[in-house]
Chains A and B, each alone.
Chain A
Amino acid sequence: MTTLDASRALTPQAYMQGLSRWQPIEIIFWLATLLPFWLFPTYLSLASQIAITALFALSLDLILGYAGIVSLGHAAFFGFGAYSAGIFSKFAWSEPISGLIAAALLTGLLGYASSFIISRFRHLTLIMITLGLGLLLKEAANSAHWLTGGSDGLQGVSIAPVFGLFKFDLYGRTAYGYSLGVLFIVFLFARRLINSPFGLALRGIRENFVRMPAIGADSRAHIRKVYTISAIVAGIAGALLAQTTQTVALEVLSFERSADVVVMLVLGGAGRLYGGLIGAAVYMIARDQFSGIAPQYWYFWIGALLVMVVTLLPNGILGGLSKLLKRWSRR
Protein backbone atom coordinates (compact mmCIF):
# COMPACT_ATOMS: atom_id res chain seq x y z
CA MET A 1 0.00 0.00 0.00
CA THR A 2 2.91 2.33 0.61
CA THR A 3 5.13 1.30 -2.27
CA LEU A 4 5.20 4.95 -3.25
CA ASP A 5 8.16 5.06 -5.58
CA ALA A 6 6.94 2.21 -7.70
CA SER A 7 3.34 3.35 -7.85
CA ARG A 8 3.74 7.07 -8.40
CA ALA A 9 4.15 6.62 -12.11
CA LEU A 10 1.12 4.34 -12.28
CA THR A 11 -2.30 5.43 -13.39
CA PRO A 12 -4.96 4.88 -10.71
CA GLN A 13 -6.45 2.09 -12.80
CA ALA A 14 -3.14 0.29 -13.13
CA TYR A 15 -2.58 0.71 -9.40
CA MET A 16 -5.93 -0.90 -8.59
CA GLN A 17 -5.20 -3.65 -11.10
CA GLY A 18 -1.90 -4.27 -9.33
CA LEU A 19 -3.59 -4.86 -5.99
CA SER A 20 -5.30 -7.98 -7.26
CA ARG A 21 -2.39 -9.36 -9.27
CA TRP A 22 -1.07 -12.79 -8.27
CA GLN A 23 2.22 -12.57 -6.42
CA PRO A 24 4.97 -15.17 -6.97
CA ILE A 25 4.81 -16.05 -3.25
CA GLU A 26 1.14 -16.99 -3.66
CA ILE A 27 1.92 -19.39 -6.49
CA ILE A 28 4.73 -20.91 -4.40
CA PHE A 29 2.31 -21.26 -1.48
CA TRP A 30 -0.24 -23.20 -3.52
CA LEU A 31 2.41 -25.39 -5.11
CA ALA A 32 3.74 -26.14 -1.62
CA THR A 33 0.32 -27.42 -0.57
CA LEU A 34 0.92 -30.32 -2.98
CA LEU A 35 4.14 -31.38 -1.23
CA PRO A 36 2.52 -33.55 1.48
CA PHE A 37 1.58 -36.10 -1.22
CA TRP A 38 5.27 -36.89 -1.62
CA LEU A 39 6.95 -35.64 1.54
CA PHE A 40 4.46 -36.75 4.21
CA PRO A 41 2.38 -39.55 2.71
CA THR A 42 1.59 -40.82 6.22
CA TYR A 43 0.28 -37.44 7.34
CA LEU A 44 -2.30 -36.91 4.62
CA SER A 45 -5.20 -37.25 7.05
CA LEU A 46 -3.76 -34.41 9.09
CA ALA A 47 -3.16 -32.44 5.90
CA SER A 48 -6.81 -32.94 4.99
CA GLN A 49 -7.90 -31.73 8.44
CA ILE A 50 -5.69 -28.67 7.97
CA ALA A 51 -7.20 -27.89 4.57
CA ILE A 52 -10.71 -28.18 6.03
CA THR A 53 -9.87 -26.03 9.04
CA ALA A 54 -8.16 -23.52 6.78
CA LEU A 55 -11.37 -23.22 4.79
CA PHE A 56 -13.30 -22.70 8.02
CA ALA A 57 -10.81 -19.99 9.08
CA LEU A 58 -11.16 -18.37 5.66
CA SER A 59 -14.92 -18.16 6.19
CA LEU A 60 -14.36 -16.37 9.50
CA ASP A 61 -11.81 -14.06 7.90
CA LEU A 62 -14.47 -12.79 5.49
CA ILE A 63 -16.60 -11.47 8.35
CA LEU A 64 -14.01 -10.83 11.07
CA GLY A 65 -10.96 -9.82 9.10
CA TYR A 66 -12.74 -7.85 6.41
CA ALA A 67 -16.01 -6.56 7.87
CA GLY A 68 -14.92 -6.50 11.52
CA ILE A 69 -17.77 -8.74 12.71
CA VAL A 70 -16.56 -10.81 15.65
CA SER A 71 -18.25 -14.19 16.05
CA LEU A 72 -17.81 -16.72 18.82
CA GLY A 73 -20.34 -19.09 17.36
CA HIS A 74 -19.11 -19.72 13.86
CA ALA A 75 -19.02 -23.48 14.47
CA ALA A 76 -22.81 -23.31 14.13
CA PHE A 77 -22.39 -23.09 10.36
CA PHE A 78 -19.50 -25.52 10.23
CA GLY A 79 -21.52 -28.07 12.19
CA PHE A 80 -24.71 -27.41 10.29
CA GLY A 81 -22.85 -28.02 7.04
CA ALA A 82 -21.34 -31.22 8.44
CA TYR A 83 -24.70 -32.59 9.56
CA SER A 84 -26.35 -31.50 6.30
CA ALA A 85 -23.78 -33.39 4.23
CA GLY A 86 -23.86 -36.43 6.52
CA ILE A 87 -27.64 -36.66 6.61
CA PHE A 88 -27.83 -35.97 2.88
CA SER A 89 -25.59 -38.94 2.16
CA LYS A 90 -27.67 -41.13 4.46
CA PHE A 91 -31.11 -40.27 3.14
CA ALA A 92 -30.53 -38.99 -0.40
CA TRP A 93 -27.45 -40.28 -2.18
CA SER A 94 -23.74 -40.60 -1.56
CA GLU A 95 -22.24 -38.67 -4.48
CA PRO A 96 -19.95 -36.16 -2.71
CA ILE A 97 -20.01 -33.04 -4.91
CA SER A 98 -23.78 -32.75 -5.08
CA GLY A 99 -23.83 -33.44 -1.34
CA LEU A 100 -21.35 -30.63 -0.81
CA ILE A 101 -23.50 -28.22 -2.83
CA ALA A 102 -26.64 -29.27 -0.97
CA ALA A 103 -24.93 -28.68 2.38
CA ALA A 104 -23.65 -25.30 1.17
CA LEU A 105 -27.12 -24.18 0.12
CA LEU A 106 -28.77 -25.32 3.34
CA THR A 107 -26.13 -23.60 5.45
CA GLY A 108 -26.55 -20.50 3.32
CA LEU A 109 -30.24 -20.42 4.21
CA LEU A 110 -29.41 -20.64 7.92
CA GLY A 111 -26.78 -17.92 7.51
CA TYR A 112 -29.18 -15.68 5.63
CA ALA A 113 -31.87 -16.10 8.29
CA SER A 114 -29.49 -15.31 11.16
CA SER A 115 -27.90 -12.40 9.26
CA PHE A 116 -31.00 -10.34 9.95
CA ILE A 117 -30.24 -10.49 13.67
CA ILE A 118 -26.46 -10.21 13.24
CA SER A 119 -26.59 -7.08 11.08
CA ARG A 120 -28.46 -5.11 13.74
CA PHE A 121 -25.83 -5.42 16.46
CA ARG A 122 -22.17 -4.77 17.04
CA HIS A 123 -19.39 -5.30 19.56
CA LEU A 124 -20.10 -7.22 22.75
CA THR A 125 -23.79 -7.73 22.02
CA LEU A 126 -22.89 -9.30 18.71
CA ILE A 127 -20.34 -11.64 20.31
CA MET A 128 -22.96 -12.77 22.83
CA ILE A 129 -25.57 -13.31 20.13
CA THR A 130 -23.25 -15.43 18.00
CA LEU A 131 -22.21 -17.38 21.09
CA GLY A 132 -25.85 -17.92 22.05
CA LEU A 133 -26.88 -19.03 18.57
CA GLY A 134 -23.99 -21.49 18.53
CA LEU A 135 -24.97 -23.06 21.86
CA LEU A 136 -28.60 -23.15 20.80
CA LEU A 137 -27.86 -25.10 17.65
CA LYS A 138 -25.62 -27.54 19.47
CA GLU A 139 -28.31 -28.43 21.99
CA ALA A 140 -30.86 -28.68 19.19
CA ALA A 141 -28.60 -31.19 17.42
CA ASN A 142 -28.03 -33.02 20.70
CA SER A 143 -31.74 -33.44 21.36
CA ALA A 144 -32.64 -34.40 17.79
CA HIS A 145 -31.19 -37.86 18.38
CA TRP A 146 -33.37 -39.49 15.72
CA LEU A 147 -31.81 -37.31 13.04
CA THR A 148 -28.28 -36.55 14.21
CA GLY A 149 -27.48 -39.45 16.48
CA GLY A 150 -27.07 -36.92 19.32
CA SER A 151 -24.00 -37.43 21.46
CA ASP A 152 -23.33 -40.81 19.81
CA GLY A 153 -22.58 -39.03 16.57
CA LEU A 154 -24.09 -39.54 13.15
CA GLN A 155 -23.40 -43.07 11.98
CA GLY A 156 -23.80 -44.73 8.63
CA VAL A 157 -22.44 -41.94 6.47
CA SER A 158 -20.98 -43.40 3.33
CA ILE A 159 -19.57 -41.34 0.51
CA ALA A 160 -19.15 -42.53 -3.04
CA PRO A 161 -15.81 -42.01 -4.85
CA VAL A 162 -15.08 -38.46 -6.02
CA PHE A 163 -15.97 -38.17 -9.72
CA GLY A 164 -16.76 -41.88 -9.43
CA LEU A 165 -13.00 -42.52 -9.55
CA PHE A 166 -11.26 -41.69 -6.31
CA LYS A 167 -12.33 -43.79 -3.35
CA PHE A 168 -11.86 -42.35 0.13
CA ASP A 169 -8.91 -44.43 1.36
CA LEU A 170 -7.44 -45.11 4.77
CA TYR A 171 -4.37 -42.95 4.17
CA GLY A 172 -6.34 -39.81 3.33
CA ARG A 173 -4.98 -39.40 -0.20
CA THR A 174 -8.41 -38.77 -1.66
CA ALA A 175 -9.49 -36.84 1.42
CA TYR A 176 -6.58 -34.41 1.08
CA GLY A 177 -6.85 -34.08 -2.68
CA TYR A 178 -10.59 -33.44 -2.44
CA SER A 179 -10.34 -30.99 0.50
CA LEU A 180 -7.44 -29.13 -1.07
CA GLY A 181 -9.26 -28.86 -4.40
CA VAL A 182 -12.37 -27.44 -2.74
CA LEU A 183 -10.26 -25.11 -0.58
CA PHE A 184 -8.51 -23.76 -3.66
CA ILE A 185 -11.72 -23.16 -5.59
CA VAL A 186 -13.39 -21.38 -2.66
CA PHE A 187 -10.19 -19.43 -2.07
CA LEU A 188 -10.28 -18.18 -5.66
CA PHE A 189 -13.84 -17.00 -5.04
CA ALA A 190 -12.87 -15.30 -1.75
CA ARG A 191 -9.90 -13.66 -3.41
CA ARG A 192 -12.13 -12.20 -6.09
CA LEU A 193 -14.61 -11.08 -3.46
CA ILE A 194 -12.07 -9.11 -1.44
CA ASN A 195 -10.78 -7.44 -4.60
CA SER A 196 -14.30 -6.48 -5.66
CA PRO A 197 -16.29 -3.29 -4.99
CA PHE A 198 -18.09 -5.32 -2.31
CA GLY A 199 -14.76 -6.25 -0.70
CA LEU A 200 -13.87 -2.56 -0.59
CA ALA A 201 -17.21 -1.81 1.07
CA LEU A 202 -16.48 -4.47 3.71
CA ARG A 203 -13.16 -2.86 4.47
CA GLY A 204 -15.01 0.43 4.71
CA ILE A 205 -17.30 -1.06 7.36
CA ARG A 206 -14.29 -2.33 9.26
CA GLU A 207 -12.36 0.94 9.01
CA ASN A 208 -15.20 3.29 9.87
CA PHE A 209 -18.71 2.13 10.55
CA VAL A 210 -19.93 5.68 11.22
CA ARG A 211 -18.76 7.06 7.90
CA MET A 212 -20.45 4.40 5.79
CA PRO A 213 -23.99 5.85 5.93
CA ALA A 214 -22.52 9.30 5.23
CA ILE A 215 -21.28 8.05 1.84
CA GLY A 216 -24.68 6.54 1.15
CA ALA A 217 -23.82 2.96 2.07
CA ASP A 218 -26.32 0.53 3.54
CA SER A 219 -23.93 -1.30 5.88
CA ARG A 220 -26.59 -3.67 7.15
CA ALA A 221 -27.31 -4.96 3.68
CA HIS A 222 -23.58 -5.48 3.12
CA ILE A 223 -23.28 -7.33 6.44
CA ARG A 224 -26.25 -9.57 5.65
CA LYS A 225 -24.65 -10.50 2.37
CA VAL A 226 -21.16 -11.25 3.67
CA TYR A 227 -22.54 -13.14 6.65
CA THR A 228 -24.51 -15.39 4.33
CA ILE A 229 -21.47 -15.97 2.13
CA SER A 230 -19.33 -16.70 5.19
CA ALA A 231 -21.92 -19.19 6.46
CA ILE A 232 -21.87 -20.96 3.09
CA VAL A 233 -18.08 -21.26 3.17
CA ALA A 234 -18.13 -22.52 6.76
CA GLY A 235 -20.85 -24.99 5.77
CA ILE A 236 -18.71 -26.29 2.91
CA ALA A 237 -15.81 -26.80 5.34
CA GLY A 238 -18.07 -28.74 7.71
CA ALA A 239 -19.45 -30.81 4.85
CA LEU A 240 -15.91 -31.67 3.78
CA LEU A 241 -15.17 -32.95 7.28
CA ALA A 242 -18.31 -35.10 7.31
CA GLN A 243 -17.55 -36.52 3.89
CA THR A 244 -13.85 -37.19 4.38
CA THR A 245 -14.25 -38.77 7.83
CA GLN A 246 -17.62 -40.36 7.00
CA THR A 247 -18.99 -39.53 10.41
CA VAL A 248 -20.26 -36.46 12.26
CA ALA A 249 -19.67 -35.95 15.97
CA LEU A 250 -21.53 -33.40 18.07
CA GLU A 251 -18.15 -31.72 18.54
CA VAL A 252 -18.52 -30.02 15.13
CA LEU A 253 -20.94 -27.58 16.80
CA SER A 254 -18.89 -27.09 19.96
CA PHE A 255 -17.87 -23.78 21.46
CA GLU A 256 -14.24 -24.97 21.38
CA ARG A 257 -14.40 -25.19 17.62
CA SER A 258 -15.76 -21.63 17.42
CA ALA A 259 -13.06 -20.36 19.76
CA ASP A 260 -10.26 -22.32 18.07
CA VAL A 261 -11.00 -20.83 14.69
CA VAL A 262 -10.81 -17.29 16.12
CA VAL A 263 -7.46 -18.20 17.67
CA MET A 264 -6.18 -19.55 14.36
CA LEU A 265 -7.22 -16.46 12.48
CA VAL A 266 -5.60 -14.18 15.05
CA LEU A 267 -2.44 -16.32 14.99
CA GLY A 268 -2.19 -16.19 11.23
CA GLY A 269 -3.33 -12.59 10.80
CA ALA A 270 -6.90 -11.46 10.21
CA GLY A 271 -7.89 -9.55 7.10
CA ARG A 272 -5.09 -10.99 5.00
CA LEU A 273 -6.83 -13.80 3.18
CA TYR A 274 -3.87 -16.13 3.79
CA GLY A 275 -3.94 -15.48 7.54
CA GLY A 276 -6.58 -18.11 8.19
CA LEU A 277 -4.75 -20.67 6.06
CA ILE A 278 -1.39 -20.10 7.75
CA GLY A 279 -3.00 -19.90 11.20
CA ALA A 280 -4.88 -23.16 10.67
CA ALA A 281 -1.71 -24.94 9.54
CA VAL A 282 0.39 -23.62 12.42
CA TYR A 283 -2.34 -24.39 14.96
CA MET A 284 -3.09 -27.89 13.72
CA ILE A 285 0.56 -28.87 13.41
CA ALA A 286 1.33 -27.40 16.84
CA ARG A 287 -1.60 -29.31 18.32
CA ASP A 288 -0.44 -32.51 16.65
CA GLN A 289 3.10 -32.09 18.01
CA PHE A 290 2.17 -30.81 21.48
CA SER A 291 -0.41 -33.51 22.05
CA GLY A 292 2.32 -36.02 21.22
CA ILE A 293 4.48 -34.57 23.99
CA ALA A 294 1.81 -34.03 26.65
CA PRO A 295 -1.60 -35.32 25.59
CA GLN A 296 -3.55 -33.70 28.44
CA TYR A 297 -1.88 -30.32 28.52
CA TRP A 298 -1.50 -29.31 24.92
CA TYR A 299 -3.84 -26.35 25.36
CA PHE A 300 -1.19 -24.94 27.69
CA TRP A 301 1.18 -24.61 24.76
CA ILE A 302 -1.51 -23.24 22.48
CA GLY A 303 -2.18 -20.63 25.17
CA ALA A 304 1.48 -19.74 25.34
CA LEU A 305 1.71 -19.52 21.56
CA LEU A 306 -1.34 -17.26 21.40
CA VAL A 307 -0.08 -14.86 24.08
CA MET A 308 3.31 -14.71 22.40
CA VAL A 309 1.95 -14.03 18.96
CA VAL A 310 -0.55 -11.33 19.95
CA THR A 311 1.95 -9.49 22.14
CA LEU A 312 4.89 -9.69 19.75
CA LEU A 313 3.03 -9.70 16.43
CA PRO A 314 -0.21 -7.75 16.81
CA ASN A 315 -1.16 -8.48 13.19
CA GLY A 316 -0.46 -12.18 13.44
CA ILE A 317 2.25 -14.25 11.82
CA LEU A 318 1.58 -12.82 8.37
CA GLY A 319 1.55 -9.25 9.70
CA GLY A 320 4.92 -9.87 11.33
CA LEU A 321 6.34 -11.42 8.17
CA SER A 322 5.22 -8.57 5.94
CA LYS A 323 6.74 -6.09 8.39
CA LEU A 324 10.02 -8.00 8.32
CA LEU A 325 9.95 -8.10 4.53
CA LYS A 326 9.34 -4.35 4.37
CA ARG A 327 12.25 -3.65 6.71
CA TRP A 328 14.44 -6.02 4.75
CA SER A 329 13.58 -4.52 1.36
CA ARG A 330 14.26 -1.00 2.66
CA ARG A 331 17.88 -1.86 3.31
Chain B
Amino acid sequence: MSAVALSARGLQKSFGSLAVARDINIDLPVGARYALIGPNGAGKTTLINLMTGLLTPNAGQITLGGEDVTALRPQARVKRGLARTFQINTLFAGLNPLEAVTLAVCERRGIADRFWQNIAGNKDAIEEAYGILARLKLGDACYQTTRELPYGRQRLLEIALALATKPKVLLLDEPAAGVPVEESGEIFEVVASLSDELTLLFIEHDMHVVFRFATHIIVLVGGAIFTQGSPAEIAADPGVREVYLGTRKHG
Protein backbone atom coordinates (compact mmCIF):
# COMPACT_ATOMS: atom_id res chain seq x y z
CA MET B 1 0.00 0.00 0.00
CA SER B 2 1.40 3.36 -1.00
CA ALA B 3 1.62 6.39 1.27
CA VAL B 4 -1.53 8.27 2.16
CA ALA B 5 -1.73 11.83 0.83
CA LEU B 6 -4.97 12.92 2.46
CA SER B 7 -7.14 11.17 4.97
CA ALA B 8 -10.31 11.86 6.87
CA ARG B 9 -10.99 10.06 10.15
CA GLY B 10 -14.45 9.94 11.68
CA LEU B 11 -15.63 13.22 10.12
CA GLN B 12 -18.95 14.43 11.49
CA LYS B 13 -20.86 17.53 10.56
CA SER B 14 -24.43 18.53 11.07
CA PHE B 15 -26.46 21.67 10.51
CA GLY B 16 -28.99 21.61 13.31
CA SER B 17 -30.63 18.21 13.18
CA LEU B 18 -29.49 17.56 9.62
CA ALA B 19 -26.41 15.37 9.55
CA VAL B 20 -24.46 16.14 6.38
CA ALA B 21 -21.40 14.06 7.22
CA ARG B 22 -21.63 10.90 9.32
CA ASP B 23 -18.47 9.19 10.43
CA ILE B 24 -16.62 9.56 7.13
CA ASN B 25 -13.32 7.74 6.74
CA ILE B 26 -11.35 8.22 3.54
CA ASP B 27 -7.75 7.56 2.61
CA LEU B 28 -6.40 9.00 -0.62
CA PRO B 29 -3.14 7.26 -1.59
CA VAL B 30 -0.49 9.39 -3.28
CA GLY B 31 -1.23 9.67 -7.00
CA ALA B 32 -4.79 8.39 -6.64
CA ARG B 33 -7.54 9.14 -9.15
CA TYR B 34 -10.63 8.83 -6.99
CA ALA B 35 -14.17 9.72 -7.89
CA LEU B 36 -16.75 10.79 -5.37
CA ILE B 37 -20.30 10.05 -6.49
CA GLY B 38 -23.73 10.12 -4.95
CA PRO B 39 -27.19 11.53 -5.46
CA ASN B 40 -27.92 15.24 -5.02
CA GLY B 41 -27.71 16.29 -1.41
CA ALA B 42 -25.50 13.34 -0.48
CA GLY B 43 -22.93 15.72 1.02
CA LYS B 44 -20.23 15.56 -1.63
CA THR B 45 -19.45 19.27 -1.74
CA THR B 46 -19.81 19.41 2.05
CA LEU B 47 -17.11 16.79 2.30
CA ILE B 48 -14.78 18.89 0.12
CA ASN B 49 -15.60 21.95 2.23
CA LEU B 50 -14.73 20.00 5.38
CA MET B 51 -11.45 18.74 3.96
CA THR B 52 -10.36 22.16 2.69
CA GLY B 53 -11.43 23.98 5.86
CA LEU B 54 -14.34 26.03 4.56
CA LEU B 55 -16.44 24.16 7.11
CA THR B 56 -15.32 23.04 10.54
CA PRO B 57 -16.27 19.47 11.42
CA ASN B 58 -18.12 18.73 14.66
CA ALA B 59 -15.83 15.76 15.17
CA GLY B 60 -13.09 13.95 13.33
CA GLN B 61 -9.67 14.59 11.95
CA ILE B 62 -8.13 15.51 8.62
CA THR B 63 -4.52 14.73 7.90
CA LEU B 64 -2.50 15.91 4.93
CA GLY B 65 0.67 13.95 4.28
CA GLY B 66 0.45 12.55 7.82
CA GLU B 67 0.14 16.02 9.38
CA ASP B 68 -3.02 16.95 11.28
CA VAL B 69 -4.55 19.97 9.53
CA THR B 70 -7.98 19.90 11.17
CA ALA B 71 -7.41 23.17 13.01
CA LEU B 72 -5.78 25.01 10.11
CA ARG B 73 -7.50 27.75 8.14
CA PRO B 74 -8.19 27.15 4.41
CA GLN B 75 -5.27 29.26 3.18
CA ALA B 76 -2.85 27.42 5.48
CA ARG B 77 -4.03 24.09 4.05
CA VAL B 78 -3.48 25.44 0.54
CA LYS B 79 0.06 26.38 1.50
CA ARG B 80 0.60 22.78 2.62
CA GLY B 81 -0.52 21.45 -0.74
CA LEU B 82 -4.29 20.96 -0.58
CA ALA B 83 -6.14 22.75 -3.38
CA ARG B 84 -9.66 22.65 -4.73
CA THR B 85 -11.87 23.90 -7.52
CA PHE B 86 -15.47 25.02 -7.18
CA GLN B 87 -18.61 23.54 -8.68
CA ILE B 88 -19.92 27.05 -9.38
CA ASN B 89 -17.28 29.27 -11.01
CA THR B 90 -15.50 31.15 -8.26
CA LEU B 91 -13.17 33.24 -10.37
CA PHE B 92 -11.78 36.77 -10.39
CA ALA B 93 -14.32 38.09 -12.90
CA GLY B 94 -12.63 41.43 -13.56
CA LEU B 95 -9.08 40.08 -13.90
CA ASN B 96 -7.80 38.32 -16.97
CA PRO B 97 -6.50 34.74 -16.68
CA LEU B 98 -2.88 35.86 -16.78
CA GLU B 99 -3.40 38.27 -13.90
CA ALA B 100 -5.45 35.77 -11.90
CA VAL B 101 -2.97 32.91 -12.23
CA THR B 102 0.00 35.24 -11.68
CA LEU B 103 -1.70 36.31 -8.45
CA ALA B 104 -2.02 32.69 -7.35
CA VAL B 105 1.64 32.07 -8.22
CA CYS B 106 2.69 35.18 -6.25
CA GLU B 107 0.68 34.04 -3.25
CA ARG B 108 2.36 30.64 -3.35
CA ARG B 109 5.80 32.21 -3.62
CA GLY B 110 4.99 34.50 -0.71
CA ILE B 111 5.60 37.69 -2.68
CA ALA B 112 2.00 38.90 -2.91
CA ASP B 113 2.53 41.39 -0.09
CA ARG B 114 5.26 43.31 -1.93
CA PHE B 115 3.73 46.69 -2.64
CA TRP B 116 6.99 48.33 -3.64
CA GLN B 117 7.78 46.03 -6.56
CA ASN B 118 6.43 46.27 -10.09
CA ILE B 119 4.62 43.04 -10.90
CA ALA B 120 6.26 43.07 -14.32
CA GLY B 121 9.61 42.66 -12.54
CA ASN B 122 8.62 39.17 -11.41
CA LYS B 123 9.28 37.72 -14.82
CA ASP B 124 9.52 34.10 -13.74
CA ALA B 125 6.23 34.26 -11.81
CA ILE B 126 4.53 35.55 -14.96
CA GLU B 127 6.33 32.92 -17.02
CA GLU B 128 5.11 30.19 -14.68
CA ALA B 129 1.54 31.52 -14.77
CA TYR B 130 1.57 31.62 -18.55
CA GLY B 131 3.00 28.09 -18.62
CA ILE B 132 0.07 26.78 -16.58
CA LEU B 133 -2.42 28.59 -18.80
CA ALA B 134 -0.76 27.31 -21.97
CA ARG B 135 -0.83 23.75 -20.63
CA LEU B 136 -4.58 24.14 -20.12
CA LYS B 137 -5.00 25.59 -23.63
CA LEU B 138 -5.81 29.01 -22.24
CA GLY B 139 -2.71 30.69 -23.64
CA ASP B 140 -4.54 32.53 -26.40
CA ALA B 141 -7.25 33.75 -24.00
CA CYS B 142 -4.96 34.94 -21.25
CA TYR B 143 -5.45 38.68 -21.88
CA GLN B 144 -9.22 38.49 -22.09
CA THR B 145 -11.22 39.56 -19.04
CA THR B 146 -12.45 36.46 -17.23
CA ARG B 147 -16.12 37.37 -17.30
CA GLU B 148 -15.96 37.57 -21.10
CA LEU B 149 -14.51 34.08 -21.50
CA PRO B 150 -16.70 31.26 -22.82
CA TYR B 151 -18.04 29.12 -19.99
CA GLY B 152 -15.97 26.04 -20.81
CA ARG B 153 -12.78 28.09 -20.65
CA GLN B 154 -13.81 29.49 -17.29
CA ARG B 155 -14.06 25.92 -16.04
CA LEU B 156 -10.48 25.34 -17.20
CA LEU B 157 -9.39 28.52 -15.45
CA GLU B 158 -10.84 27.06 -12.24
CA ILE B 159 -8.34 24.24 -12.59
CA ALA B 160 -5.52 26.58 -13.61
CA LEU B 161 -5.94 28.64 -10.44
CA ALA B 162 -5.80 25.51 -8.32
CA LEU B 163 -2.70 24.22 -10.14
CA ALA B 164 -0.90 27.53 -9.56
CA THR B 165 -0.79 26.69 -5.86
CA LYS B 166 1.31 23.60 -6.78
CA PRO B 167 -0.95 21.19 -4.92
CA LYS B 168 -0.06 17.71 -3.78
CA VAL B 169 -3.75 16.91 -3.44
CA LEU B 170 -6.38 18.41 -5.72
CA LEU B 171 -10.10 18.17 -5.03
CA LEU B 172 -12.21 18.88 -8.11
CA ASP B 173 -15.84 19.70 -7.47
CA GLU B 174 -17.62 18.76 -10.70
CA PRO B 175 -14.95 20.21 -12.98
CA ALA B 176 -17.25 19.90 -16.01
CA ALA B 177 -20.43 21.11 -14.31
CA GLY B 178 -22.66 22.93 -16.78
CA VAL B 179 -20.40 22.16 -19.73
CA PRO B 180 -22.04 20.47 -22.74
CA VAL B 181 -21.24 16.73 -22.96
CA GLU B 182 -19.07 17.14 -26.05
CA GLU B 183 -16.83 19.63 -24.24
CA SER B 184 -16.71 17.87 -20.88
CA GLY B 185 -14.45 15.21 -22.37
CA GLU B 186 -11.94 17.95 -23.16
CA ILE B 187 -11.89 19.07 -19.54
CA PHE B 188 -11.34 15.54 -18.30
CA GLU B 189 -8.56 15.02 -20.82
CA VAL B 190 -6.85 17.93 -19.10
CA VAL B 191 -7.54 16.37 -15.70
CA ALA B 192 -6.19 13.02 -16.89
CA SER B 193 -3.02 14.65 -18.20
CA LEU B 194 -2.06 16.04 -14.80
CA SER B 195 1.06 14.71 -13.15
CA ASP B 196 0.90 11.17 -11.74
CA GLU B 197 2.26 12.42 -8.45
CA LEU B 198 -0.76 14.65 -7.98
CA THR B 199 -3.45 13.03 -5.85
CA LEU B 200 -6.90 13.64 -7.27
CA LEU B 201 -10.41 13.38 -5.95
CA PHE B 202 -13.21 14.50 -8.22
CA ILE B 203 -16.96 14.76 -7.97
CA GLU B 204 -18.76 13.90 -11.18
CA HIS B 205 -22.25 12.90 -12.20
CA ASP B 206 -21.56 11.53 -15.66
CA MET B 207 -20.93 7.80 -15.11
CA HIS B 208 -19.13 7.38 -18.43
CA VAL B 209 -16.61 9.94 -17.32
CA VAL B 210 -16.32 8.41 -13.85
CA PHE B 211 -15.71 4.90 -15.15
CA ARG B 212 -13.22 6.17 -17.68
CA PHE B 213 -11.04 8.33 -15.45
CA ALA B 214 -11.37 7.02 -11.91
CA THR B 215 -9.33 4.16 -10.49
CA HIS B 216 -11.48 3.99 -7.39
CA ILE B 217 -14.99 5.19 -6.62
CA ILE B 218 -16.50 6.34 -3.33
CA VAL B 219 -20.28 6.37 -3.14
CA LEU B 220 -21.74 8.86 -0.70
CA VAL B 221 -25.37 8.67 0.36
CA GLY B 222 -27.06 10.77 3.01
CA GLY B 223 -23.78 12.08 4.38
CA ALA B 224 -22.26 8.64 4.86
CA ILE B 225 -20.06 6.41 2.75
CA PHE B 226 -22.38 3.85 1.23
CA THR B 227 -19.68 1.78 -0.38
CA GLN B 228 -16.42 2.13 -2.24
CA GLY B 229 -14.33 0.09 -4.63
CA SER B 230 -12.94 -0.25 -8.11
CA PRO B 231 -15.10 0.94 -11.02
CA ALA B 232 -15.86 -2.69 -11.90
CA GLU B 233 -16.99 -3.45 -8.36
CA ILE B 234 -19.15 -0.35 -8.19
CA ALA B 235 -20.68 -1.03 -11.59
CA ALA B 236 -21.61 -4.53 -10.47
CA ASP B 237 -22.98 -3.48 -7.09
CA PRO B 238 -26.77 -3.80 -7.12
CA GLY B 239 -27.04 -1.55 -4.05
CA VAL B 240 -25.34 1.32 -5.85
CA ARG B 241 -27.62 0.92 -8.81
CA GLU B 242 -30.55 1.14 -6.47
CA VAL B 243 -29.57 4.25 -4.45
CA TYR B 244 -27.72 6.12 -7.11
CA LEU B 245 -28.75 5.12 -10.56
CA GLY B 246 -32.29 4.39 -9.49
CA THR B 247 -34.28 1.23 -10.06
CA ARG B 248 -37.50 2.91 -10.98
CA LYS B 249 -38.91 1.76 -14.23
CA HIS B 250 -39.26 4.51 -16.73
CA GLY B 251 -42.45 4.92 -18.56
Contact A16 B83 (CB under 8 A): no
A222 close to chain B: CB less than 8 A: yes
Interface centre among B83, B84, B115, B126 (most CB of A within 10 A): B115
Q: Chain A's interface: helix, strand, loop or mixed, by majority?
A: helix
B226 close to chain A: CB less than 8 A: no
Q: What count of chain B residues pass the 8 Å CB interface test?
A: 52
A92 close to chain B: CB less than 8 A: no
Contact B78 A16 (CB under 8 A): no
Contact A197 B130 (CB under 8 A): no
B104 close to chain A: CB less than 8 A: yes
Contact A197 B119 (CB under 8 A): yes
B154 close to chain A: CB less than 8 A: no
Given A1-B143, A215-B104, A203 contacting B92 (CB threshold 8 A): yes
Residues of A49-74 whose CB lies within 8 A of B: none
Contact A213 B118 (CB under 8 A): no
Contact A213 B96 (CB under 8 A): no
Closest residue to B108 on the A side, CB-wise? A216
Contact A199 B119 (CB under 8 A): yes
Partner of B115, one of A7, A198, A204, A212: A198
A128 close to chain B: CB less than 8 A: no
Contact A198 B112 (CB under 8 A): yes
Please give the distance in Å from B41's CB to the nearest CB on chain A: 22
Partner of B161, one of A12, A203, A215: A215
Instruction: For A206, list chain B residues within 8 Å (CB).
Output: 94
Complex Cα distance A195/B119, Å? 6
Interface centre among A208, A210, A229 (most CB of B within 10 A): A208
Instruction: For B127, list chain A residues within 8 Å (CB).
Output: 12-13
Q: How many A-B residue pairs have CB under 8 A?
A: 145
Contact A195 B102 (CB under 8 A): no
Given A20-B120, A196-B117, A203 contacting B94 (CB threshold 8 A): yes
Contact A200 B106 (CB under 8 A): yes
A211 close to chain B: CB less than 8 A: yes
Partner of A204, one of B75, B95, B122, B162: B95
Closest residue to A216 on the B side, CB-wise? B78
Digitize A12-54: 1 where CB-to-B-CB distance is under 8 Å, 0 elsewhere.
Answer: 1101110110000000000000000000000000000000000
B90 close to chain A: CB less than 8 A: yes
Contact A199 B115 (CB under 8 A): yes
Partner of B145, one of A1, A13, A214, A216: A1
A306 close to chain B: CB less than 8 A: no
Contact A201 B106 (CB under 8 A): yes
Given A197-B114, A229-B115, A208 contacting B91 (CB threshold 8 A): yes
Residues of B114-146 whose CB lies within 8 A of A: 114-120, 122-123, 125-127, 129-130, 140, 142-145
Contact A16 B91 (CB under 8 A): no
Contact B107 A217 (CB under 8 A): yes
Please give the distance in Å from B220's CB to the nearest CB on chain A: 22
Further pairs besides A207-B94, A214-B75: 8, Cβ < 8 Å: A13-B123, A16-B119, A17-B120, A195-B118, A201-B113, A203-B92, A204-B92, A217-B112
Residues on B lying within 8 angstroms of A by beta carbon are: 52, 73-75, 78-79, 83-84, 86, 90-96, 98-100, 102-104, 106-108, 111-120, 122-123, 125-127, 129-130, 140, 142-145, 148, 161-162, 164-165
